[in-house]
Amino acid sequence: MLCFDEFFVTDIGDAMILGGLMEALFERGITLVATSNIVPENLYKDGLQRQRFLPAIGMLQRYTQVFNLDSGVDYRLRTLQTLPLYHTPHNEVAAEALRTMFQSLVPQAEITQCFIEVNNRQLQANAVADDVVWFDFAALCDGPRSQNDYIELSRVYHTVLLQQVPVFSGSNDDQARRFINLVDEFYDRGVKLILSAQAPLLELYRGSRLSFEFDRTYSRLQEMQSEEYLASAHKA
């Protein structure tokens, strides 16, 4: 018997390794027991070259039985409701708070920097496990990112931790606009957003050109910390 906890697949390399492993296990009559937040048919969904992983999914469906152990309580939600979701300024204390939050949401996960693929581009993450991911602000908003990237992230991830959000002074309006788009897409899909920033929420934008748009961002970020929003379903 072989047991896996938190079974998930994030890239084609892992998919191929797991496919070969499962084939060898089942050929030898070894029993596989696994826990996962994802049913077999949705493993590595929309991943690059996913068709190469489909035979492994077929083996899981053929040789294993799925038991739904959902108690109806999302314990991650309880964590989000009891801890602050906005940390300022970003310093060692804030960084440690985000680390603690990530570990509370996915206790078995290792915090290791990695790259994830979004719309055929690589994004560096501080950590990823299941449907929780942790980024530096620069990885998502300081570069050639499109709204489609934020749509894809909001579809895949239930909770996003984002650290080192800067003050937007007008000289970095490109970053501010990307941040506005990010918040809009996350809000629309019910993504839970945990932030560390260099200034209090209502002091983040100090420019003028995007002040109207940022007023909506302020409002949405405040609502995203409410119990009602945190209790809402993720629209994957």
Chosen domain end from 34, 63, 92? 63
The pLDDT value given to residue 46: 64
Between CA 156 and CA 20, with CA 66 as vertex, the angle to 5 degrees is 75
Considering the domain architecture, whether residues 6 and 114 belong to the same structural domain is answered as no
Q: Which residue among 41, 63, 85 closes a domain?
A: 63
Could you give the 3-state DSSP secondary structure of residue 145? coil
- Count of domains forming the chain: 2
The pLDDT of residue 81 is 66
Per-residue pLDDT, 79:
59
Q: What is the CATH number of the domain that holds 98?
A: 3.40.50
Q: Could you tell me if residue 70 is inside a domain? A: no
Phi and psi of 162, rounded to 5°? -130, 120
Helix (H) or strand (E) segment spanning residue 84: none
Q: Is the same domain home to 106 and 59?
A: no
Q: Which residues of 94-107 are buried (b: 16+ CB within 10 A; e: fewer)?
A: beebbbebbeebbe
208 and 187 inside one domain = yes
Residues 56 and 8 in one domain: yes
Which residue segment(s) compose the domain that 52 sits in?
2-63
Shared domain check, 215 and 149: yes
Residue 155 has a pLDDT of 93
The token duo for 148 is: 């489609």
Q: Which of 140, 236, 132, 121 is nearest to 181 (CA)?
A: 140
Q: What is the pTM of this model?
A: 0.69
pLDDT for position 64? 87
What does pLDDT average to in each consecutive run of 10 residues of the chain (236 residues)?
78 81 87 82 76 87 82 55 85 94 86 88 90 95 90 94 94 94 95 95 92 92 90 83
* Res 99: pLDDT: 94
Alpha helices, DSSP H, located in the chain: 12-27, 54-63, 75-82, 92-105, 137-141, 147-156, 173-188, 211-223, 227-230
158 and 44 within one domain: no
What's the one-letter identity of residue 134? W
Q: Are residues 119 and 177 part of one domain?
A: yes
Q: Is residue 236 part of a domain?
A: no
